[in-house]
Chains A and B, each alone.
Chain A
Amino acid sequence: MFAACADPKAIEGLTWLTCYLTSGKHLDFYWSFVVVLGLLAITAPAALTMGFLGATAARSRFLPLSLLGKGYAAIVRGVPDIVFFLFFVIALDQGIEYLKSLAVCDDPGWPWQGLEFRVCQEAKVPLGASPAIWHQAYGFGLAVFTFAIVFGAFAANVLYGAMGAVPKAQLETAEAYGMSHAQVFRRILVPQMWVYALPGLSNLWMILIKATPLLFLLGVKDIVYWARELGGSKTQAYEYPHSDWRLWYFLGLLVFYLCFTKVSEIVLTRLSARLSRGQATAAGEAQRKAAA
């Protein structure tokens, strides 16, 4: 990066450290923080949406839809994450390529031949010739989708429980006022359920933050991968040889995760206070008394 870094083995002290910390590999490491934060920023709303759809479906009075919602939450929650991340992603990737092969290949055969999966070159997603950035973006997209499905199942269960926790008297009163089912759901149930869902959802958020190392299974290099890779001892084959420094890198990650979860906690506490306002819960009652 800097001119002084041209020959890393000739420099030492602070210059060496500066050059070391700005090497291309370290820039990849710093970038992976952005990737992880980006993943969380996209996955959290996506998972919440999946969960909301799942919970709504599970509450439906139309039996097949209700079974679909309940089955989704039950099956996905029952499968170990690591199995899901290994199996589901490969299946999804191959499924996409199989469907594409039906559309674009001249002679789309059955692609699963023994141990191999073969589709014509044009059906590859992304195309083999695509720049590396597309391969990374595709991996990232698969990751977001998979995370959304897995965490959506847990969120569905939390939201389903929260919907059931809204006092029945509230819903009956609304119906007595002449609201339709949809109106009761929209105006009474959904606005009030969040306060009951928040503890469960905040748990999920905390787990999601720490689940990002699973990204590496999907080919996305996250901060834990880079910390392990950078911290491992390096011989003279590398420009910056050093001994086993994983402890320092993982300490850095520890600080990052602690700060991140602390900030999350502060935000969630505020959100909880905001959602309790005017609610018929102990927290809502305490707020009312404090104000009075």
Chain B
Amino acid sequence: MKKLLLATALVAISGAAFAQDVVRLGTEGAYPPFNFINDAGEVAGFEREVGDELCKRAALTCEWVTNEWDSIIPNLQSGNYDVIIAGMSITDERDEVIDFSQNYFPPAASAYVALTADADIKGTVSAQVSTIQAGYVAESGATLLEFATPDESIAAVRNGEAVAVFADKDFLAPIVAESNGELTFVGEEVQLGGGVGLGLRESDAELKEKFNAAIQSMKDDGSLNALIEKHFGPETAKF
């Protein structure tokens, strides 16, 4: 019993000693192929691999946490995790409240998807809440229908609630490809945002530099491009 207590105390002390080095990565877990919960119940996808590799290169111990998209920035500020790695595009509005690392995914196209090729993209368009796409739809003159998860914004088109959905093309592409012709891209592609970056608290400059250096090294040796191609296919924009 005494040994057990001693062991517990030791674990507690060593845990406290290592506390500095653990970085908690917050993601949504509902945005394949960027990030999703796989069938084993773990975080998986492009960002899982990038995040693990970045932590290895920056010599950090990382842990994965999932958080609802809608409250992902407030919970970062509140300190529930240290980094947002959730396919978050770098925008000026977000940059005012949090800091971004350099992008690890190039500026990408957003696209409309609907049931028919002649769908009216100025009609009712669904998008995920608090995304750059939702902001774009609101300004485009269409009626915006917001959903908490990306999956629900697609389902809204399938069941006729919305005429079209507007989202990252890289997220939509596999869904359109596997829909057996039910869904199709409509309208022009739109370039939005400055690429996808890690979101950090503004006071965490040191951590940001570590991640910036790690991202740069992954860009330099081509491993980042390899991961992008693995998860998004050969046609996706690379660095």
Contact = CB atoms under 8 A, between A and B. Distances in A.
Contact of A116 (B38, B77, B152): B77
B79 A124 contact: yes
B203 A24 contact: no
Interface in A106-146: 113, 115-119, 121-122, 124, 127-130, 132, 135
B32 A233 contact: no
Interface stretch (B15-23, B101-109, B117-125, B207-215): B15-23
Interface residues of B, number: 45
Given A129-B22, A237-B33, A23 B39 contact: yes
Contacts of B16: 122, 127, 129
Interface stretch (B40-48, B50-58, B131-139): B40-48
- Report which residue of B67, B71, B82 has the largest number of chain A beta carbons within 10 angstroms of its beta carbon: B71
Interface string B73-94: 0100111101000000000000
A232 B151 contact: yes
B76 to A, nearest CB: 9
- Report which residue of A93, A94, A119, A235 has the largest number of chain B beta carbons within 10 angstroms of its beta carbon: A235
A128 B63 CA distance: 9
B149 A232 contact: yes
Interface in A68-107: 86, 90, 93-94, 97
B126 to A, nearest CB: 14
Contacts of B30: 229, 232
B175 A93 contact: no
A236 interface: yes
Nearest to A128: B22
Contact of B158 (A118, A127, A244): A244
A181 to B, nearest CB: 47
Contact of A237 (B19, B36, B63, B149): B36
Nearest to B174: A235
Interface of A: 8, 23-25, 27-28, 86, 90, 93-94, 97, 113, 115-119, 121-122, 124, 127-130, 132, 135, 216-217, 219, 228-229, 232-233, 235-241, 244, 246
Please list the 8 inter-chain residue pairs (A to B) with the smallest Cβ-Cβ separation, ordered nearest first.
A24-B40, A232-B151, A24-B41, A23-B39, A129-B22, A239-B39, A237-B32, A235-B174
9 contacts: A27-B41, A116-B79, A116-B201, A128-B19, A216-B68, A232-B149, A235-B174, A238-B39, A239-B38
